[in-house]
Protein backbone atom coordinates (compact mmCIF):
# COMPACT_ATOMS: atom_id res chain seq x y z
CA UNK A 1 0.00 0.00 0.00
CA UNK A 2 1.39 3.42 -0.97
CA UNK A 3 0.85 4.91 2.49
CA UNK A 4 3.13 2.23 4.03
CA UNK A 5 5.83 3.23 1.53
CA UNK A 6 5.28 6.88 2.53
CA UNK A 7 5.68 5.95 6.19
CA UNK A 8 8.87 4.05 5.38
CA UNK A 9 10.23 7.15 3.63
CA UNK A 10 9.37 9.31 6.65
CA UNK A 11 11.22 6.91 8.97
CA UNK A 12 14.16 5.97 6.73
CA UNK A 13 17.76 6.83 7.57
CA UNK A 14 18.43 7.37 3.87
CA UNK A 15 15.08 8.37 2.37
CA UNK A 16 14.45 9.49 -1.18
CA UNK A 17 15.39 13.16 -0.99
CA UNK A 18 13.17 14.14 -3.92
CA UNK A 19 10.28 13.48 -1.54
CA UNK A 20 11.58 14.21 1.94
CA UNK A 21 13.07 17.57 0.93
CA UNK A 22 9.60 18.92 0.15
CA UNK A 23 7.08 16.72 1.97
CA UNK A 24 5.36 17.51 5.23
CA UNK A 25 4.43 14.08 6.54
CA UNK A 26 2.07 15.55 9.13
CA UNK A 27 -0.13 17.11 6.44
CA UNK A 28 -1.00 14.31 4.03
CA UNK A 29 -4.16 14.21 1.92
CA UNK A 30 -5.31 11.18 -0.04
CA UNK A 31 -7.22 11.68 -3.25
CA UNK A 32 -8.72 9.31 -5.77
CA UNK A 33 -10.51 9.76 -9.08
CA UNK A 34 -13.37 7.42 -10.08
CA UNK A 35 -12.51 3.95 -8.71
CA UNK A 36 -9.63 5.72 -6.95
CA UNK A 37 -12.31 7.61 -5.01
CA UNK A 38 -13.54 4.25 -3.75
CA UNK A 39 -9.99 3.39 -2.71
CA UNK A 40 -9.67 6.73 -0.88
CA UNK A 41 -12.94 5.96 0.95
CA UNK A 42 -11.68 2.49 1.88
CA UNK A 43 -8.41 3.94 3.20
CA UNK A 44 -10.33 6.50 5.26
CA UNK A 45 -12.27 3.65 6.89
CA UNK A 46 -9.19 1.45 7.39
CA UNK A 47 -6.89 4.17 8.73
CA UNK A 48 -9.39 6.01 10.90
CA UNK A 49 -9.07 9.55 12.14
CA UNK A 50 -5.48 10.78 12.38
CA UNK A 51 -4.05 7.58 10.85
CA UNK A 52 -2.04 6.90 14.05
CA UNK A 53 -0.73 3.56 12.74
CA UNK A 54 1.18 5.48 10.06
CA UNK A 55 3.12 7.79 12.40
CA UNK A 56 4.87 10.05 11.68
CA UNK A 57 2.63 10.27 8.61
CA UNK A 58 -0.68 11.90 9.46
CA UNK A 59 -3.54 11.89 6.98
CA UNK A 60 -5.58 15.09 7.38
CA UNK A 61 -8.30 14.39 4.83
CA UNK A 62 -9.56 12.65 1.72
CA UNK A 63 -10.72 13.95 -1.65
CA UNK A 64 -13.09 11.64 -3.53
CA UNK A 65 -13.31 12.80 -7.13
CA UNK A 66 -16.32 11.24 -8.87
CA UNK A 67 -16.23 8.07 -6.76
CA UNK A 68 -17.35 4.98 -8.67
CA UNK A 69 -19.80 3.79 -6.02
CA UNK A 70 -22.40 1.26 -7.08
CA UNK A 71 -25.06 -1.07 -5.78
CA UNK A 72 -27.57 -3.66 -6.91
CA UNK A 73 -30.44 -1.18 -6.73
CA UNK A 74 -30.11 1.50 -9.41
CA UNK A 75 -30.36 5.14 -8.46
CA UNK A 76 -32.42 7.68 -10.35
CA UNK A 77 -29.40 9.11 -12.19
CA UNK A 78 -28.30 5.62 -13.24
CA UNK A 79 -31.80 4.63 -14.38
CA UNK A 80 -32.36 7.86 -16.31
CA UNK A 81 -28.91 7.88 -17.90
CA UNK A 82 -28.06 6.67 -21.38
CA UNK A 83 -29.05 3.03 -21.81
CA UNK A 84 -25.73 2.24 -23.48
CA UNK A 85 -23.71 3.67 -20.56
CA UNK A 86 -21.24 1.19 -19.16
CA UNK A 87 -21.19 0.79 -15.39
CA UNK A 88 -18.80 -2.13 -14.99
CA UNK A 89 -17.87 -3.32 -11.54
CA UNK A 90 -17.99 -7.05 -12.37
CA UNK A 91 -14.24 -7.38 -12.82
CA UNK A 92 -13.74 -6.51 -9.15
CA UNK A 93 -16.28 -8.60 -7.30
CA UNK A 94 -19.27 -10.84 -7.80
CA UNK A 95 -21.72 -8.19 -6.54
CA UNK A 96 -22.09 -4.43 -6.75
CA UNK A 97 -23.02 -4.47 -3.07
CA UNK A 98 -19.43 -5.37 -2.13
CA UNK A 99 -18.03 -2.89 0.47
CA UNK A 100 -15.42 -1.61 -2.02
CA UNK A 101 -18.23 -0.58 -4.35
CA UNK A 102 -21.20 0.11 -2.09
CA UNK A 103 -20.18 1.66 1.25
CA UNK A 104 -23.77 1.26 2.48
CA UNK A 105 -24.40 -2.23 1.10
CA UNK A 106 -25.74 -5.12 3.16
CA UNK A 107 -22.24 -6.50 3.92
CA UNK A 108 -20.52 -3.12 4.44
CA UNK A 109 -19.52 -2.04 7.93
CA UNK A 110 -21.60 0.77 9.34
CA UNK A 111 -19.94 4.14 8.97
CA UNK A 112 -22.23 5.86 11.45
CA UNK A 113 -20.04 5.40 14.53
CA UNK A 114 -16.63 5.50 12.83
CA UNK A 115 -14.37 8.48 13.40
CA UNK A 116 -13.24 9.72 10.01
CA UNK A 117 -10.94 12.46 8.82
CA UNK A 118 -12.56 15.24 6.75
CA UNK A 119 -13.76 14.27 3.27
CA UNK A 120 -14.46 16.27 0.15
CA UNK A 121 -16.69 14.59 -2.44
CA UNK A 122 -16.79 16.06 -5.95
CA UNK A 123 -19.09 14.98 -8.77
CA UNK A 124 -20.26 16.21 -12.15
CA UNK A 125 -23.95 17.11 -12.36
CA UNK A 126 -24.32 14.93 -15.46
CA UNK A 127 -22.43 12.00 -13.96
CA UNK A 128 -24.48 8.79 -13.88
CA UNK A 129 -23.09 8.12 -10.41
CA UNK A 130 -23.88 11.52 -8.91
CA UNK A 131 -26.79 10.22 -6.80
CA UNK A 132 -24.53 7.73 -5.03
CA UNK A 133 -21.87 10.36 -4.29
CA UNK A 134 -24.51 12.78 -3.01
CA UNK A 135 -26.11 10.08 -0.84
CA UNK A 136 -22.68 9.15 0.55
CA UNK A 137 -21.91 12.75 1.48
CA UNK A 138 -25.38 13.39 2.92
CA UNK A 139 -25.34 10.28 5.11
CA UNK A 140 -21.91 11.08 6.49
CA UNK A 141 -22.95 14.68 7.14
CA UNK A 142 -26.12 13.51 8.93
CA UNK A 143 -23.92 11.35 11.16
CA UNK A 144 -21.84 14.37 12.12
CA UNK A 145 -18.83 13.71 9.91
CA UNK A 146 -16.87 16.64 8.49
CA UNK A 147 -17.68 16.36 4.80
CA UNK A 148 -17.95 18.68 1.85
CA UNK A 149 -19.94 17.97 -1.28
CA UNK A 150 -19.55 19.84 -4.55
CA UNK A 151 -21.54 19.14 -7.70
CA UNK A 152 -20.51 20.78 -10.97
CA UNK A 153 -23.65 21.42 -12.99
CA UNK A 154 -23.63 19.99 -16.51
CA UNK A 155 -20.30 18.20 -16.06
CA UNK A 156 -19.75 14.51 -16.75
CA UNK A 157 -17.79 11.82 -14.90
CA UNK A 158 -14.13 12.81 -14.85
CA UNK A 159 -14.67 16.26 -16.38
CA UNK A 160 -11.49 17.53 -14.70
CA UNK A 161 -9.33 14.91 -16.46
CA UNK A 162 -11.13 15.08 -19.78
CA UNK A 163 -10.65 18.85 -19.99
CA UNK A 164 -8.16 19.89 -17.28
CA UNK A 165 -7.93 23.48 -18.54
CA UNK A 166 -11.68 24.12 -18.49
CA UNK A 167 -13.19 26.66 -16.12
CA UNK A 168 -14.91 23.92 -14.04
CA UNK A 169 -11.60 22.06 -13.68
CA UNK A 170 -9.85 25.27 -12.60
CA UNK A 171 -12.64 25.98 -10.10
CA UNK A 172 -12.23 22.45 -8.75
CA UNK A 173 -8.52 23.04 -8.11
CA UNK A 174 -9.40 26.09 -6.01
CA UNK A 175 -11.97 24.08 -4.05
CA UNK A 176 -9.44 21.34 -3.36
CA UNK A 177 -6.84 23.94 -2.35
CA UNK A 178 -9.32 25.50 0.11
CA UNK A 179 -10.20 22.06 1.54
CA UNK A 180 -6.52 21.25 2.09
CA UNK A 181 -5.82 24.64 3.64
CA UNK A 182 -8.79 24.39 6.00
CA UNK A 183 -7.88 20.88 7.12
CA UNK A 184 -4.09 20.96 7.24
CA UNK A 185 -3.98 21.33 10.99
CA UNK A 186 -6.98 19.15 11.69
CA UNK A 187 -6.86 16.90 14.75
CA UNK A 188 -9.76 14.80 13.44
Angstrom distances, CA of residue 114 to CA of 48, 134, 167: 8, 19, 36
90 flagged as catalytic: no
What are phi and psi for residue 119, nearest 5 degrees? -125, 145
127 flagged as catalytic: yes
The active-site residue, picked from 33, 97, 117, 127, is 127
Burial class (CB in 10 A: 0-12, 13-18, 19+), 13: exposed
Identify any residues that bridge with 123 across adjacent strands, giving them in sequence order.
151
The active-site residue, picked from 34, 108, 126, 166, is 34
Q: Are 172 and 164 in contact (CB under 8 A)?
A: no
Which sequence positions are flagged as catalytic?
34, 127
Amino acid sequence: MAVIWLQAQALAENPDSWLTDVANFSKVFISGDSAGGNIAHDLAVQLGVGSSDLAPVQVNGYVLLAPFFGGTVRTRSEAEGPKDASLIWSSLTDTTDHPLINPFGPVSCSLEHLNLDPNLVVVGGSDLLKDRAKDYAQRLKNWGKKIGYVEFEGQQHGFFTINPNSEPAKALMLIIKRFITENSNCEG
